[in-house]
Amino acid sequence: MKFYDIISNELKIITFSIKGDKEKENMQDLISIIIPCFNAGKTIARTLNSVREQDYKNLEIIIVNDGSKDNTLEVANKYANLDNRIRVITQQNAGVSVARNNGLHSAKGNYIVFLDADDNYTTPYALSKMLKRLKDTDADMCVCNFTHPCFEQHLSSGVYDLTDENQFFNYFQDFFAYGMPWNKITKRECLTENFAKGITFNEDELFNLDNLHNIKKVALIDHVYHNYYCAPYNPQAVASAVNSIYSADKLSQKKSTAWHSAMKNHEYRVASISKFFPQYKEEMQYIRCFDFFFWDFFLMAKNRMPEDYISFTRKAIFEEELFQNALKDKERYGLKLKKYTNADIDEFVKLAYYAFRDIKAYNKKMSMYKVFLGLFGHFFYNITENANSKDVLVSAMLSLNNNSTAEAIYVNSLLEMRDLQSVSKQCRIILFDNNMATWRGVTAK
């Protein structure tokens, strides 16, 4: 063999090696986007357009048609013909959990994204930025901010090290970062557990809980990349699960709330905690019982439920044993539950509902959840010298005492306004009494 033949063959080997490494790298960077859909014919085109417009092109787009009865399958197949990255899986109607599981089992990517068939990305660089953030921080998951009609999320670009106990609990209590499935990109190897079959409400939070033991580091990104769509309630069509809960025909039902629906999963949640986090069972088991009280409030406020109905349902939740256990559990962190009355609950609801409308109307850049926590702590707890900021309620109350955050300053101003209104009302009553006493010819004391 001549010298130039040897060199030529070696160059071919090097070329093939580089090409093979490049293909391997591309496969490692493949993102699988799983889109379950049921009767989503009116919205899925918007969702798919936002995915196809992403500047990150190495995508596998898996549409799982869950036995739709409208033109969802027709639209999905049309897009599959336009874009060879799209695959369509059809199953008999079995629910969103089965649909996501089938998509997950067929996914080939090393990174997984879940996307609802009526949501969309707000920018064409959402996925590329999130993947870069995940890699730059050597994280297992990246979480972005999102728009939502019920609540706002204001994540900073930090990192949760879940091997640190305090950071683990901070993340687990940050429900709007932890609990949602659709504002995340996750390493495929970290998703070893399936969505639970037969659970139709809050199944996504349970999926995140079941897989949390695989996640060691979570990167946050302080940009809004995801737009969550909340379909209006319509008894003749598919609506958001939460909007279906708050339909007008259920207003008179005492336990028709998202909190009560979520608590049906309490035993499942405790079993998962016992399996994967036995060392934290006592501390973790009532956290969702507590924070769903606020999540449910946000949903009611978004649906413009009457204030007296929200008070009615809050009182019903206060009567529940699970919520009472959650309230008492806060005392392990240095809080002391006050003796409260129904009037305290009414007053909390009044101020919290005002805050919700005010923050939404004027697009105030603060965490609605932290505002609600500050108000709740003021009405229902005293803080002791043993307070431990490992708990989010303690943290909110310490901030309130120090007036050290935007949320704390806002809450303190609300409470001051309330006190001034109360004084003003008392003055009007005293003035009225004095005038009546003068008219009668006596002096009021």
Residue that is written with structure tokens 């496969």 in the block: 27
- Confidence (pLDDT) at 364: 86
- Confidence (pLDDT) at 207: 96
What percent of the chain has a predicted confidence (pLDDT) above 90? 66
Q: Is the pLDDT of residue 223 over 90?
A: no
Compare 171 and 24 and report the one with higher pLDDT. Answer: 171
User: What average pLDDT does this structure show over 307-324?
Assistant: 95
DSSP string, 390-422: TSHHHHHHHHHHHT-SHHHHHHHHHHHHHHHHH
- Confidence (pLDDT) at 213: 97
What tens digit of pLDDT does each residue of 32-69 get? 999 999 999 999 999 999 999 999 999 999 999 999 99
What is the Cα 104 distance to its own chain's centre? Answer: 21
- Confidence (pLDDT) at 94: 94
What tens digit of pLDDT does each residue of 337-393 get? 999 999 999 999 999 999 999 998 888 888 889 999 999 999 999 999 999 999 999
| Distance of alpha carbon 173 from alpha carbon 154, whole angstroms | 15
| Confidence class for position 226, pLDDT limits 50, 70, 90 | confident
Contact between 103 and 91 under an 8 Å Cβ cutoff? The reply is no
Lowest mean pLDDT among 142-146, 169-173, 205-209, 244-248: 244-248
| Confidence class for position 191, pLDDT limits 50, 70, 90 | very high
- Confidence (pLDDT) at 428: 44
May I ask the CATH class of domain 16-227? alpha beta
Lowest mean pLDDT among 21-30, 79-88, 193-202, 380-389: 21-30
- Confidence (pLDDT) at 437: 39
What percent of the chain has a predicted confidence (pLDDT) above 70? 81
Q: Which uninterrupted H or E stretch holds 64?
A: strand 59-66
Q: Is the pLDDT of residue 169 over 80?
A: yes
Domain boundaries defined on the chain: 16-227, 241-424
- Confidence (pLDDT) at 20: 45
User: What average pLDDT does this structure show over 158-182?
Assistant: 91
Count of beta carbons in the 10 Å neighbourhood of residue 384: 13
User: What average pLDDT does this structure show over 128-137?
Assistant: 96
- The helix-helix angle for 342-361 and 368-380 (nearest 10°) equals 160
- Confidence (pLDDT) at 5: 52
Q: CA quadruple 272, 276, 278, 283: dihedral positive or negative?
A: negative
Residue that is written with structure tokens 């090409």 in the block: 19
Coil vs helix vs strand at 32: strand
Q: Is the pLDDT of residue 188 over 80?
A: yes
DSSP string, 337-406: EPP--HHHHHHHHHHHHHHHHHHHHTT-SS-HHHHHHHHHHHHHEEE-TT--TTSHHHHHHHHHHHT-SH
- Confidence (pLDDT) at 431: 40
Task: Measure CA of the first residue to CA of the last residue in the chain; give whole Å.
Answer: 120
What tens digit of pLDDT does each residue of 72-126 get? 999 999 999 999 999 999 999 999 999 999 999 999 999 999 999 989 889 999 9
pTM reported for the whole predicted model: 0.84
- Confidence (pLDDT) at 445: 33
Contact between 231 and 238 under an 8 Å Cβ cutoff? The reply is yes
- Helical ranges in 65-191 per DSSP H: 72-82, 96-106, 126-136, 165-173, 175-178
Q: Output the CA–CA distances (angstroms, integers) from residue 268 to 39, 275, 361, 414, in the order listed.
A: 29, 11, 38, 39
- Confidence (pLDDT) at 245: 56
Q: Is the pLDDT of residue 249 over 70?
A: no
Residue 3, judged by CB atoms within 10 A of its CB (0-12, 13-18, 19+), counts as exposed
Tokens of residue 223, six digits: 């940009």
